[in-house]
Amino acid sequence: MSFPQLKDYKAIVTNMLAEAGIVLTEREQRAIEVADFGLNNLEVSGLQLITYVNNDRYCAKELVLFPHQTCPEHRHPPRADGNPGKLETFRCRKGTVYLYVEREATADPIAEPPAQDRQYYTVFHEVVLQEGEQYTIPENTKHWFQAGEQGAIVSEFSSNSDDPSDIFTDPRIVRVQD
C-alpha cells in the first residue's frame, strides 16, 4: 500500500471515529494501524485500529471496519509463558458488527465470508452486535467479524494483546509486517 493510500485510509478512519464522537489526538491519528493481513484487498478483508494502551496486564483499542469489511478468522492461543491467551470483549459503538464464534452454527447467518476466501472460514455461530451491545470472546476461541452496510466501530477491552502469537485459519495471512 502506498503512503498516499495509507494517509487516505487513516483520514477516513479519523472521520468515522469523529462522527461517532470519538476524538483522537494527533499522535493517535498518526498511530492508526491499517491492516490488510497481506491479502492486498483491504476494503474486503482488513481492519483499521488504534491501540490506546497495551501493557502486560490489559489492552484497549478501537477497531474500525469499512462497510462489509471482514476481519479474517483467527484465535488467540495460550502462550509459552503460561498465559492462557487473549480474553477480549467487543462493544459495538457505531453501526452493526456480525461476530462469528465457535459454537453451534447459526442456520441462516446474515453475513458471509469473502467469497474468494470462504475455504478459510470454519466457525459460523452468529452474534449480532448493535450499538451499545457487547460480547466477550473466551481465550483461544476461533472468531471472525464483519461490519454491516454502514461500517462499524468496536471498542475492544482485553487482556494483553500479542499480535504475532495470533493464529489465523488462512495460511496466507501476514499479521505483523516488517
Query: Nearest CA to 101 among 77, 119, 120, 74?
Result: 74
100 within a domain of the structure (yes/no): yes
Report the mean per-residue pLDDT for the chain. 95
**Pairing outcome for strands 47-54 and 33-35:** antiparallel
Q: Sorting pLDDT into bands at 50, 70 and 90, what band is 134?
A: very high
More confident residue, 82 or 131: 131
- Say what the alpha-carbon torsion angle 6, 154, 162, 39 is, to the nearest 10 degrees: -40
**CATH at residue 107:** 2.60.120.10
Residue 34 has pLDDT above 80, yes or no: yes
Give CA–CA dist 80/99, Å, rounded. Answer: 28
Determine the distance from the C-alpha atom of residue 67 to the mean position of all C-alpha atoms in its chain, rounded to a whole number: 13
Count of domains observed in the chain:
1
User: Could you tell me if 71 and 160 are in contact, meaning their C-beta atoms sit under 8 angstroms apart?
Assistant: no
176 within a domain of the structure (yes/no): no
Give CA–CA dist 3/6, Å, rounded. Answer: 5
Write out the three cell numbers for 66: 469499512
**pLDDT tens figures, 83-117:** 899 999 999 999 999 999 999 999 999 999 999 99
163 within a domain of the structure (yes/no): yes
Give CA–CA dist 28/168, Å, rounded. Answer: 27
Give CA–CA dist 63/47, Å, rounded. Answer: 7
Helices (H) and strands (E) in the chain, counts: 2, 9
174 within a domain of the structure (yes/no): no
87 within a domain of the structure (yes/no): yes
Residue 93 belongs to domain spanning: 3-168
